[in-house]
Amino acid sequence: MTRVAFLDPFAGASGDMLLGALLDAGWPLADLQAVVDSLALGQVEVRAERVHKHHLAGTHLTIHAPGAQPLRHPADLLAIVAGAHIAPAVRDRAVAVIERLAAVEARAHGIPVEEVHFHEVGAVDTLVDIVGTLAGFAALGVERIVSAPLPWSRGTVQTEHGLLPVPPPAVAALLEGYPVHGVDVQGEMVTPTGAALVTNLADSFGRMPDMVVQTVAYGAGTRDWPDRANRLRLVLGEAVDGGIAEVETLTVLACNLDDMNPQWYGPLAEAAFHAGALDVWLTPAYMKKSRPGIVVEVLCRPAEVPALREMLFRQTTTLGIRETSVTRWALPRQTRTVQTPYGDVRIKIGDLPGGGSKMAPEHDDCAARAAEHNVSVREVWQAALNAAADSAAPHP
């Protein structure tokens, strides 16, 4: 069974809310303290308490760092993580989150990354939130995370840089390419650390996956909202199909073209795949004034949307692009290499619900082997299927 988690940030997301939810779900506070101690930040202590708001209970985490803490830059945070006694997978992911957080802060304020600084207490909170959250999900055995879209609130917030719009520029940059929904709430509901963690953790965004629910937990934030409890809900469970169906929210970018040189479509598709597209397809259509044209559609993950959107504007004649969110159900797959009389051929194998599998040889390999041996692609294709079936069959 696949262990899955669903993040429901109905009142926003922050590092302390994520950690509170993990503790509420059963991760021992002592284990979080051990992670904090491994960061060697001095006498930093984490405390948790059950709090109630709007008739909804949750766990609220606070971080206590007595004594003076130095001003820290991204390189300082990365050095601390590199020296911590944590799992390599947690360390690598923490590095990625810190680097992305620093990059958007630098972009938002128009300064080099090296000049980004984290305030004395803020640096400690950031490190504990990032490393602790990643370690917590790993400790709870979560294999896949789905998140509902994050809320996009409104208003302004006073910062050291002056009055900024909500979400602040860094949060807005972190949410580029990811699904959000507008809410009529004045104030900052998603923090930079919360945005960086959720967008890094989530394998997909959308509805709650089909699961057998085992735990429902709530992490409490520090702000008070007039119409809702400031909680992040975390649902843990087992996928009902044993993880057979992988569901993810993807984006389709589309544009209509009736004035583009047909010779440009090949390079266009190559550029799209280079920029992160999962698939590209062209559909003939009649445009306005009865002109024959082509509808170009690109399938991608939300994180790749900005790069692919820019690519379409630059490499086509279009003046507008449509953007649609879609849900994709995909079979888990693996790629194996089988030996045939014509040479090695890669073959994709997908696991079917309820048992069994379907197989598809890689066309490029089949075409290459066919050309080498002066036989048809069909012959190599069938030989690859036979070899795959033979290797999967039990032998006495």
- The string of pLDDT tens digits covering residues 302-337 is 888 999 999 999 999 999 999 998 888 887 777 889
Pick from 74-78, 207-211, 391-395: least confident:
391-395
Pick from 162-166, 354-358, 359-363: least confident:
354-358
How far apart, in whole angstroms, are the C-alpha atoms of residue 249 and residue 326? Answer: 6
Give, for 62, the enclosing helix (H) or strand (E). strand 56-64
Give the DSSP per-residue string, 186-209: ES--B-HHHHHHHHHH-SEESSPP
How far apart, in whole angstroms, are the C-alpha atoms of residue 389 and residue 383? Answer: 10
Cβ atoms 340, 388 nearer than 8 A = no
Q: What is the mean pLDDT of residues 40-52?
A: 93
393: alpha, beta or left? (left if phi > 0; alpha if psi -120 to 50): beta
Question: Cα–Cα–Cα angle for 273, 274, 278, nearest 5°?
Answer: 30
- CA-nearest of 232, 151, 227, 146 to 190 is 151
Residue with tokens 């950031």: 126
Handedness of CA 162, 165, 166, 168 (dihedral sign): negative
What are the boundaries of each domain within the chain?
Answer: 3-244, 247-330, 333-392
Instruction: Please state, in angstroms and as integers, the Cα–Cα distance from residue 33 to each residue in 45, 135, 136, 167, 183, following that order.
Output: 7, 11, 11, 31, 35
pLDDT tens string 58-87: 999 999 987 777 888 899 999 999 999 999
Write down the pLDDT at residue 395.
Answer: 46
Q: What is the mean pLDDT of the chain?
A: 90
How far apart, in whole angstroms, are the C-alpha atoms of residue 216 and residue 272? Answer: 40
On the CB side of 257, how many CA atoms lie within 13 Å of its CA?
22
What predicted TM-score, i.e. pTM, was given to this entire model? Answer: 0.69
Cβ atoms 201, 5 nearer than 8 A = no
Instruction: Please state, in angstroms and as integers, the Cα–Cα distance from residue 165 to each residue in 102, 103, 152, 171, 174, following that order.
Output: 19, 19, 11, 10, 15
pLDDT tens string 232-266: 999 999 987 544 556 778 899 999 999 999 999 99
* Cis amide bond preceding 167, omega within 30: yes
The CATH classification number of 247-330 equals 3.30.70.1380
| Share of residues in the chain with pLDDT > 90 (%) | 68
